[in-house]
Structure 1
Amino acid sequence: MERNLKEALKHRRSYYALDSQSPISDEQIEEIMRFAVAHTPSAFNSQSTRLVLLLGEHHRKLWKLVKETLKKIISEAAYEATEAKVDKSFLAGYGTVLFYEDQTIVESLQKAFPLYQDKFPEWSEHTSAMHQLVVWTMLENAGFGASLQHYNPLIDLAVQAEWRLPEHWRLIAQMPFGTPLTAPGKKDMHPVEERIKIFK
């Protein structure tokens, strides 16, 4: 379903009950990733964001890896609840997008602009966040449900090794997606008037 930008942003929500079906082809999913990387802004035009798209067995492998990692470090009782959540909400989906930031670019900017060197890691996070919003909104607009997860840094080394990713890529977030099975719950919103100041 094609929505205008305002409608698409309004409809973007977190979905936690997913199915492993896809409303669009893998090629169309790949095009969403390419569009996001090509057209999302970045601090100093750094283009530091890196995306890893995991589909099929690669997607399932990621969430099995997450479970294996967590099983080693949390209590048995806590793991049971975590396993159920991972199985229903993440592993059950169609795919996952991993968001990375290339640290060689961040470091090169720190050297090139020493006056702002302490800010570039923060601005890199902003760059990643913009890519996350674009991908998330476009996936939902295509008929998917998605959520944003943060199992990093617990899984960083295992993921890097499994998919032979560069050491200078820093994992920021994971976005599992699939066909939504249930509608999202009511979203609590603080009054907009309390969050905006306008002077004219």
Structure 2
Amino acid sequence: MSTFLDLVEKRRTVYALGTDSEYSKEDIENRIREVVKQVPTAFNSQTTRVVVLFDEANDKFWDHIYDVQKNVLEGEMWDMMSGVMTGAKKGIGTVLFFEDKEAVEVMPAQGARQEAYKQNNNANAQYAVWLALAEMDLGASLQHFNVGYEQGFDKGTKEMFNLPESYEMLAQMPFGSVEQEIGEKEHIDTDVQVKVLT
């Protein structure tokens, strides 16, 4: 019974990424495909779309993010996040997480409930993919650069990769071999997080 818990504990945020892996890009792609296929979604709506970037596509994406964000972020925030962007290019690849707005709009829900279902669908995929990468001894982090469909913040990414206009980018997950020692994670008391009532 410890296998799943071990995997949950193994999944951590990793910024120092490398390319050393026993798994091929095809292995990683196939694992991501299978995991996303099995992720639960509201009403089995299957609204999440995932794009996996390797090699030149990965470099191109992070160069684009860097160019945009250098005009947005300042001071300490730029110092911290620019390292995340350049570090992402040193890994194996990046998973981009989208929601297809056309698929979202046909869910039997409207307004705030539709938005909640969309976010939950995508979050399920993000966590499942992250666990799958951890199982393959790959580190990753979850980022939220250039998100904002209504403002057009993700338009450049969609144009770059010829993706449908209906795709709304919600997150990015750069991944690769773990090139840093992972420190201990602090936890609040589980009694604060979990209440049990009878």
What TM-score, normalized to structure 2?
A: 0.89
- The equivalent position to 1:156 in structure 2, one of 148, 154, 157, is 154
| Structure 2 match to 1:53 | 52
Secondary structure of 2:143's counterpart equals coil
Whole-Å Cα distance in 2 between the matches of residues 80 and 150 of structure 1? 16
Is 1:138–2:136 an aligned residue pair? no
Distance in 2 between the 1:85 and 1:51 partners?
A: 21
| Unmatched tracts of structure 2, length 5 or more | none
Match of 2:186 in 1: 188
The alpha-carbon distance between structure 1 residues 17 and 47, as it changes in their structure 2 partners (threshold 3 A), is same
**For each residue in 1:107-148, what CA deviation from the matched residue of structure 2 results, as whole angstroms up to 9, or x when unmatched?**
112xx44xx543011111001101111100110110100000
Residue of structure 2 in register with 1:21 after alignment: 20
The number of residue pairs the alignment matches comes to 193
User: 1:22 deviation in Å?
Assistant: 2.9
Contact 2:36 2:129 in 1 (8 A): no
Tell me the residue number matched to 2:32: 33
Instruction: Look up the match of 2:93.
Output: 95
- Cα distance in 2 between the residues matched to 1:124 and 1:77: 32
Q: TM-score, normalised on structure 1?
A: 0.88
Runs of at least 5 residues in structure 1 that lack an aligned partner in the other structure: none
TM-superposition CA deviations, 1:150-175 (whole Å, max 9, x none)? 00327511101000111111101000
Cα offsets for 1:45-83 (capped at 9, x unmatched): 100110000011111111111111112334488645543
- Give identity over the alignment, percent: 32
Distance 1:117 1:192, change over 3 A: same
User: What CA deviation, in whole Å up to 9, does each residue of 1:177-197 have, x standing for no partner?
Assistant: 010111222211000012111
Aligned to 1:165: 163
Letter in 2 for 1:87: T
Change (3 A) 1:163 1:192: same
Structure-1 separation of matches of 2:54 and 2:73: 28
RMSD: 2.0
Contact 2:92 2:177 in 1 (8 A): yes
CA contact (8 A) 2:32 2:132 kept: no
| Matched AA of 1:184 | I
State the Cα distance separating 1:39 from its structure 2 match: 0.6
Deviations 1:9-65 (A, max 9, x none): 121110011113333011111111111221110011100110000011111111111
